[in-house]
Amino acid sequence: MEDRTDGRNANQLRPLGCSRNILNRAHGSARWSQGNTIVLAAVYGPKSGTKKGENPEKASFEVIWKPKTGQIGKQEREYEMILKRTLQSICLVNVHPNTTTSVIVQVVGDDGSLLPCAINASCAALVDAGIPMKHLAVSISCGLMEEGSIILDLTKSEEEKLKAFAYLVFPNSPLSVIDKVHSSKEEPIEHGIITSVSYGAMPVSGYFDCLERGRAASAAISEFLRRSLQKQSSDDASRAAQ
Amino acid sequence: MEQRWANTSRLTINEKQFIEEALRSEIRVDGRRLYDYRRLTIKFGRYRCLPRATILSCKCYHLRFSLFCCNCREDGSSEVQLGETHVMAFVTGQLLQPYRDRPNEGTLAIFTEFSPMADPSFEPGRPGEAAIELGRVIDRGLRESRAVDMESLCVVAGKSVWAIRVDLHIIDNGGNLIDAANIAALAALSTFRRPECSVGGDDNQEIIVHDPEVRDPIPLTIHHFPIAVTFAFFHEGNTLVIDPHYKEEAVSGVRMTVTVNSNGDVCAIQKAGGEGILSGDVMRCLRIASLKASEMTTKIKEAVETYNAEVALKKVKRHPSLIAQKITVPDVEMKEASFQKTKELSADMENSPNQTSTSLTTTKDKDTNASIGRPLNWDPYSSSAPAIVSSSTLPELVGTSKDANEDQMMQTDEEYDPNLKKDQIASATGVSSGIHKQNSPPKSLKDAVKPKHKRKKNAERGAR
């Protein structure tokens, strides 16, 4: 197996960093870094009214993606759409009907795996804002090498060289006080997949390998996310009131 | 729906009255004095990735040059926090055609983004009045006052010059965005490095942009630092404050921004609308501003100096690691030597701070995790142990390893232990090469240590 440019092996992730509550005005904010890819996400809590095409019986989300430099183009619009659909599926949309929650994503550094980093950051920011969610979402990028091996957490140079790679978003199993009484035959929640964006052509077996590997890695990321969210207790009162 | 959100930045009548009354007794919302700035923190981008160069052929001018992607290097990005206000600046450079009327000058363009995350009333899309005003004030202060030398950015007169682009992102609006954004732009421009390029080739028309790994990139020439100082007036111009908070801004009817440099030159004055101010008050503001400007200039310059020193340190340490990696050592002897060395080192981990840098190496080797907990029988004559590291590099590693610890508190990753910690520290401080020197080719360094080690061990045994 050839070495990766930064010395990691195939299953190694870049160092993760997560800090919450970094902005004063925003209701929820988080900064997520995976190596040199750093994303800042801010959430403004539910405000009344929905946009024209949205369902007023549910809460709707509005995502604004801000690139580091340059104009906003199609790539940014695509990321906004993917992020919006992902967040809509993890949040409880029936709790606050006819409201709009804004999520603003600012790219601080881009070294590959930008969309997974943004999804993780947005998830942490939503938790910081106190938006009701079903479970957390963790995201990972998986690349398929020529000989069929999988590498995780791609850098920008790897993304450009690889023939095919995918961004995957998995749910995080919710911790519950109530013991699980249902039978063990039922598939655990982590086996589901929320979002998958693939680039390039890959064989079906390769894609399923990516899923397996990504799912295993997402367990580690979700552990890290949960721990970092638990550490910082939210001591301030609701900032939406200020 | 949007109107409700825009109204959140309006204050209640009670708040307005409170702020105004308190200012009569010279008391401010956050407890500052009238002419005090809030706490200023300047951070620079520390992430690095390998630069890429692509060959682009441009037929119309018979120029062939490689376009270098500048946006991933550590140069030219800053993050400024002035109290609650948070601004990020990114500087990038590109080779473009100059303007027709100035064929031998580079160009500087400032783009301002009022991100909706800064304030609930900021809308995405077209920039509002405040955003345009901010962009113009900073532009006048930096560009029109000739703070940045444009003529040094010319490569081929009339054909190709460096176009510098400054992107300002307002992340958090705590008031006084102009001052904070100005500082961010200055800090980013001071640390921006453009790749060196020379004209050559067959017909002396080709521009070759050198890889920054090959030739050091060049900083911009900044003649002076124009500092913007914003004043807010209350009580019909009788009370004035510096660096207004966003609540004070909402209460005051009049604001004035003065851009001066430490030489006492006035670069720009901006007073757009509002009540009239006496000319005597304007002169007073200018005097106060020049004092503040010299303070601010020293702060910015100190921060830039510290950052440049860090970067220079990184460059010095790079070369040894590149050479050392090529040496390979047989495994069997190495393990024993490393085991003994790390036991000795762990004995002194608490004793001397010098060992903090080498203690990082102990966490890297997989077999040391067992050795740290065991009882240590070695006589700690380990002043000889750090002989691997030359005395000049040790104190520097001490300073930066402390930074690593502080940064590690922010990063809570505990998975994928040994190798990941190395990367974590590496990315946190950016002193990757210094620690790499001890970790990634441990074989070579231990190979150097081995003979000394055995000699000492034998000497001690002989002494007993």
Write the DSSP assignment of B400-453 as a string of letters. HHHHHHHHHHH----SSHHHHHHHHHHHHHS-HHHHHHHSSSHHHHHHHHHHHH
Check B1 against A44: CB less than 8 A apart.
Answer: no
Least confident of A34-48, B237-251, B391-405: B391-405
B88: which chain A residues are within 8 Å (Cβ-Cβ)? 106, 108
Q: Is the pLDDT confidence value at B130 over 80?
A: yes
- Tell me, what's the pLDDT at B393? 41
B47: which chain A residues are within 8 Å (Cβ-Cβ)? 36, 38, 109, 111
- Tell me, what's the pLDDT at A175? 67
Size of interface A-B (CB pairs under 8 A): 128
Burial class (CB in 10 A: 0-12, 13-18, 19+), B19: buried
A68: which chain B residues are within 8 Å (Cβ-Cβ)? 71, 90, 167
Check A49 against B4: CB less than 8 A apart.
Answer: yes
- Tell me, what's the pLDDT at A185? 57
CB B269 within 8 A of CB B256: yes
Tell me the nearest-neighbour CA distance from B241 into chain A, angstroms.
22
- Tell me, what's the pLDDT at A181? 54
Residue B264 phi, psi dihedral angles, 5° rounding: 95, 5
Q: d(Cα B164, Cα B167) in Å, to the nearest integer? A: 10
Q: Is the pLDDT confidence value at A202 over 60?
A: yes
The residues facing A101 across adjacent strands are A61
By CA distance, what is B409's nearest residue in A?
A: A17
CB B118 within 8 A of CB A25: yes
- Tell me, what's the pLDDT at B72? 40
- Tell me, what's the pLDDT at B5? 57
Mean pLDDT of B271-290: 90
**What b/e sequence results for A66-99 when a residue is b if at least 16 CB atoms lie within 10 Å of its CB, and e otherwise?**
bbbbeeeeeebeebbebbbebbeebbebeebebb
Q: d(Cα B32, Cα B46) in Å, to the nearest integer? A: 32
ipTM: 0.84
Least confident of B86-95, B126-135, B290-299, B313-322: B313-322
Q: d(Cα B63, Cα A32) in Å, to the nearest integer? A: 42
Check B115 against A227: CB less than 8 A apart.
Answer: no
Q: Where are the beta strands (DSSP E) in B245-398?
A: 254-260, 266-270
- Tell me, what's the pLDDT at A69? 84
B107-114 and B160-172 as β-strands: parallel, antiparallel, unpaired? parallel
- Tell me, what's the pLDDT at B409? 40
Structure tokens that stand for B69 in this block: 């992607």
pTM of the model: 0.72
Closest partner residue to A68 among B71, B427, B428, by Cβ?
B71
Q: For the segment A211-222, what is each residue's pLDDT rounded down to a tens digit? A: 989 988 988 898
pLDDT band at A179 (very low <50, low <70, confident <90, very high): low
3-state secondary structure of A138: strand
Residue B165 phi, psi dihedral angles, 5° rounding: -125, 125
Q: Where are the beta strands (DSSP E) in B21-159?
A: 40-44, 53-58, 63-68, 77-82, 85-96, 107-114, 154-156
Q: d(Cα A230, Cα B417) in Å, to the nearest integer? A: 21
Enter the DSSP assignment of B94: E
Looking at per-residue confidence, does B293 or B330 come out higher? Answer: B293
Closest partner residue to A104 among B117, B424, B440, by Cβ?
B117
Check B52 against A157: CB less than 8 A apart.
Answer: yes
- Tell me, what's the pLDDT at B204? 67
How many Cα atoms occupy the beta-carbon half-sphere of A59 within 13 Å? 21
Q: Is the pLDDT confidence value at A62 over 90?
A: yes
Task: Return left, alpha or beta for B392; rule: phi > 0 is left, psi -120 to 50 is alpha, else beta.
Answer: alpha
Q: Is the pLDDT confidence value at B450 over 80?
A: no
Burial class (CB in 10 A: 0-12, 13-18, 19+), A222: buried
Q: Which has the closest alpha carbon to B169: B92, B112, B125, B212?
A: B112
Percentage of residues in chain B having pLDDT higher than 70: 59
